[in-house]
Amino acid sequence: MRARAGGARRDGPLRHDARSGGTARAGPGRMRPALRGILALLMLLAAGFVHAQESEPVSDEVVRDREFGVSARHFGLERRVEMYQWRAKDGGFERVWSETPIDSSGYTQGHENPEFPMRGRRWTAEHVTLDDKPVDRSVIEQYGQWRLFRPNFSALPGNLAATFQPEGDGLGSAENPLDPQIGDLRIGWRELTLPPLKGRVSLERGTWFPIAGDPIGDDPPLPQLATQAVAMPLPTTTLLFAALHALMLMGLTAQVSRWRAKAQVGIGAGDCKELKRWVRVHGNFTEYVPMTLLLLALLEITGVGRQWIFTGGALLLLGRVLHAWGLGRHAGTSIGRFVGMVLTMVVLGSAAVAALWVTMR
């Protein structure tokens, strides 16, 4: 039987209906392959998020050196103070940096050491948890690792700003850091970090305690602040999402190349609507993803919690998948395109605000 000339147009593909013995249009309840892929990706990201949080100690406290306006979002903060002093050596005297006062009561005239105007101090977080259970202080003492970091000195009080100036990764009072004088001070800070504690702690009576073993050694004495490089943590969480986005970029590039070959267009998009859409998908990806990932990496290096970096990376990846899915189907407004851009801008904007907060704290 032929369809009538003015009949309704069939918009969807026909499929066999086993119950009626005929054919029926594929309804909206049938899950598209792209949607199934997105749901599978979300499940993988959720599993990865749970794995990333496993055995990660956390603390909501911010430890502060209020005198200098320095803060750290880790488990401890240490101020280390050195003074340039005289020290007896081989019947003579030499000038050295020292964290402890050197007794010069028996030195010859002109080699007296001034009193230490300030001393080093240490602050540690009071409430550290692992899987929502408190961590005993012995865990921090055994496994804590001190590492140098360069604070932001925007909150340095005015009276100290008149005495100290940035020197290396800390502060110094010498007018000429290359020619310090006896009594000049040099101040540096370290932050306390904890490694993943899986296999290192056991839960007893609702509290985590260390498993017997050798503690991780403390860092050596304060190095030369003007010459020593800071051990920079690797942004491994951002690296994971950079790799996933790189794979997606390769897929988008392959899609553009496929449509170029079909349309026989080497530069531009010609009159091929499909090619124009995929060129725009590819271009939009390269406009937003690199800067967002860069901000996430820098935030992770400065100590922002991995759970926040993971959340940002996951939302960005989901946004890019939805945007490519929506715009790749048609050039008009679509839910995928709209939600994808909203997620992208939320992550980019949040990362920018967080970066400003880190630099000004």
Structural domains for the chain:
63-210 (no CATH), 235-360 (1.20.120.550)
Predicted confidence at residue 328, as pLDDT, reads 82
Residue with tokens 């400065």: 302
Rounded average pLDDT per 10-residue block, the chain, 361 residues: 46 46 44 56 58 64 87 87 92 91 90 90 87 86 86 84 89 91 93 84 87 54 41 78 93 87 81 85 92 93 84 94 86 86 95 87 58
Predicted confidence at residue 358, as pLDDT, reads 79
Q: In three state form, how does the secondary structure of the chain look?
A: CCCCCCCCCCCCCEEEECCCCEEEECCCCCCCHHHHHHHHHHHHHHHHHHHHHCCCCECCCCEEECCCCEEECCCEEEEEEEEEEEEEECCEEEEEEECCCCCCCCCCCCCCCCCCCCCCEEEECCCCEECCEEECHHHHHHHCEEEEECCCCCCCCHHHHCCCEEECCEEECCCCCCCCCCCCEEEEEEEEECCCCCCCEEEECCEEEECCCCCCCCCCCCCCCCCCCCCCCCCHHHHHHHHHHHHHHHHHHHHHHHHHHHHCCCCCCCCCHHHHHHHHHHHHHHHHHHHHHHHHHHHHHCCCCHHHHHHHHHHHHHHHHHHHHHHHHCCCCCHHHHHHHHHHHHHHHHHHHHHHHHHHC
* Length of the chain measured in residues: 361
